[in-house]
Amino acid sequence: MLEGFKRWTIAATLAVALGMSLGAKAAIIHESASLGATGQTTGPSIIASDAWSGSRFSLSEAVNVTQIGGHLLGAFGDVFGAIIALASPSATPANMTDVVNSVVASTTFAPPSPSTDFRTPLSVALAAGDYALVFGSGALGASGGARIPLNNTDNPGASYFSCGTSQCFNGGFQNARFVVEGTVVPLPAALPLLATALAALGLLGWRRRQAA
């Protein structure tokens, strides 16, 4: 009876550990601002070949990005959305070439009009570190234009940069909504529990063989 209870306990522990290891948790990885009113037909921040906008974010653990977006207003054609690596949480790329050279993943899309809280698929695995989500055109396969409504409300720690044709600079706008979504797989947290359960299972099997 006692041995059966031990086996049940170990099996339950294994199930919990495996569930923690394999179960990915959907999450908003980055959200620079809370959403303002959609349906906007104009926006003061322009996305074009000579005007790129970026929002910095930092990760404390590895994530799998599934989509990107934000509060956007289409103008014409496609723009690009790119995740770039940064050297530090407050780093600013030197120029547009520096942005392109730092791209980890990118995609092109046509934002709708009037404005919506838009998402487009982008699949990439990111390690812990510092990054930025950048919207632009004239590179990475995009040649259109769009606008970013600035009627949102910045979340604490929102951090932006802007790029013109010659250089990038810190700030330049605020209350823009950039969003990165994905999954966080908490594998390290499950490993000690999984190891303990496996060790206990092995010990129980050894005792059973010794008693035989």
More confident residue, 68 or 43: 68
Kindly state whether residue 87 falls inside one of the protein's structural domains.
yes
Task: Answer whether 82's CB lies under 8 Å from 134's CB.
Answer: yes
Which pTM does this prediction carry? Answer: 0.79
- Percentage of residues of the chain with pLDDT beyond 90: 72
pLDDT, residue 27, reads: 86
Query: What's the domain range around 130?
Result: 24-197
Kindly state whether residue 7 falls inside one of the protein's structural domains.
no
Domain count, the chain: 1
Q: Which two tokens stand for residue 17?
A: 């550990």
pLDDT, residue 2, reads: 41
84: nearest Cα among 47, 45, 136, 32: 136
Kindly state whether residue 11 falls inside one of the protein's structural domains.
no
Kindly state whether residue 13 falls inside one of the protein's structural domains.
no
Which phi and psi angles does 41 have, rounded to 5°? -110, 0
CB half-sphere exposure, 186, CA atoms < 13 A: 13
CATH number at residue 145: 2.60.120
pLDDT, average across residues 69-86: 97
Examine the pLDDT at 3 and tell me if it is beyond 70. no
Residues 6+ apart with CB under 8 A from 130: 56, 57, 58, 59, 85, 86, 87, 88, 89, 91
Kindly state whether residue 144 falls inside one of the protein's structural domains.
yes
Please write the tens of the pLDDT for every residue from 122-176: 999 999 999 999 999 999 999 999 999 999 999 999 999 999 999 999 999 999 9
Kindly state whether residue 210 falls inside one of the protein's structural domains.
no
Taken in order 139, 171, 55, 114, the sign of the CA dihedral is negative
Helix (DSSP H) and strand (DSSP E) numbers for the chain: 3, 14
Kindly state whether residue 28 falls inside one of the protein's structural domains.
yes
Kindly state whether residue 83 falls inside one of the protein's structural domains.
yes
Examine the pLDDT at 5 and tell me if it is beyond 50. no
Residues in the chain: 212
> How far lies 106's CA from each of 68, 120, 190, in Å?
10, 11, 32
